[in-house]
A and B are shown apart, each in its own frame.
Chain A
Amino acid sequence: DVKVTQSSRYLVKRTGEKVFLECVQDMDHENMFWYRQDPGLGLRLIYFSYDVKMKEKGDIPEGYSVSREKKERFSLILESASTNQTSMYLCASSSVNEQFFGPGTRLTVL
């Protein structure tokens, strides 16, 4: 059974903290994605990666960075968290025809 896991379901951080969100997939997929989901705004792509050490900016990369040191792991980094980064963060990996999603991390920045 295919699986995408995210390190935390819920996370509370303070403004200015550095935040790491981890995503691991066990399907040997090359493509991995980070989205944020906000009410009324749907899913917005932050970054994606199509190979180890490769990354491309999505639609809203500002305030975020990513790391892909191993094929199975794709990390999203908030260098200095701000309150407007409070959101649901969804990781996905893809085969040719389908994106598989993790359960999401609900991040609150106080």
Chain B
Amino acid sequence: GEDVEQSLFLSVREGDSSVINCTYTDSSSTYLYWYKQEPGAGLQLLTYIFSNMDMKQDQRLTVLLNKKDKHLSLRIADTQTGDSAIYFCAESNAGNNRKLIWGLGTSLAVNP
């Protein structure tokens, strides 16, 4: 079945850029998502990219999609301590977003 993989941990210094990577197997993915989960909270959508795009930028966030390699990345510029959280990659191949296939999440630690 479909699978989404991401590394479990990332540690960066405050002010540096963070890059969180994700690979997926479903070649018919329509949307790819990045969600953020702060401690003790639910998940919050950070950004998503449609599969016919290869890049999307939103303030400090840059999403890169390499559809050929089925690789998605999230770059956070000027990482702050408030960015410490778990970041989930997810993909959907249903336009109505009925089901998402989730990665296990990358725990980002930002050190002062």
Binding site for B on A (CB under 8 A): 4, 31, 40-43, 45, 48, 50, 58, 90, 92, 94-104
CA distance in complex: A50, B98 (Å): 7
Q: Which residues of A contact B41 (CB under 8 A)?
A: 103-104
Question: Who on chain A is nearest to B48 by CB?
Answer: A97
Distance of A75 Cα from B31 Cα, bound (Å)? 28
Contacts of B42 in A (CB 8 A): 4, 90, 92, 101-104
Partner of A42, one of B33, B96, B99, B102: B102
Chain B residues within 8 Å of chain A by Cβ, number: 21
Bound: A92/B88 CA distance, A: 15
Q: Are B103 and A94 in contact (CB under 8 A)?
A: no
Contact B102 A43 (CB under 8 A): yes
B45 at interface by CB-CB < 8 Å: yes
Q: Does B12 sit within 8 A of A, measured CB to CB?
A: no
CA distance A41 to B86 in the complex (A): 13
**A96-B75 Cα distance, complex, nearest whole Å:** 25
Known: A48-B99, A104-B40, A104-B42. 12 other contacts (CB 8 A): A31-B98, A42-B105, A58-B99, A90-B42, A90-B43, A94-B98, A99-B43, A100-B45, A101-B43, A101-B44, A103-B42, A104-B41
Judge whether B59 is part of the interface by a CB distance below 8 angstroms: no
CA A43 to CA B33, docked complex, whole Å = 14
Cα of A96 to Cα of B97 in the assembled complex, Å = 6
Query: Once the chains bind, are A42 and B104 in contact (CB under 8 Å)?
Result: yes
Q: Which of A41, A98, A104 contacts B97 (CB 8 A)?
A: A98
User: Please, which residues of chain B bring their CB within 8 A of the CB of A98?
Assistant: 33, 45, 48, 97
Q: Does B100 contact A (CB under 8 A)?
A: yes
Kindly list chain A residues whose C-beta atoms are within 8 Å of the C-beta of B103.
42
8 smallest A-B Cβ distances: which pairs?
A101-B42, A42-B104, A101-B43, A94-B97, A43-B102, A103-B42, A98-B45, A104-B42
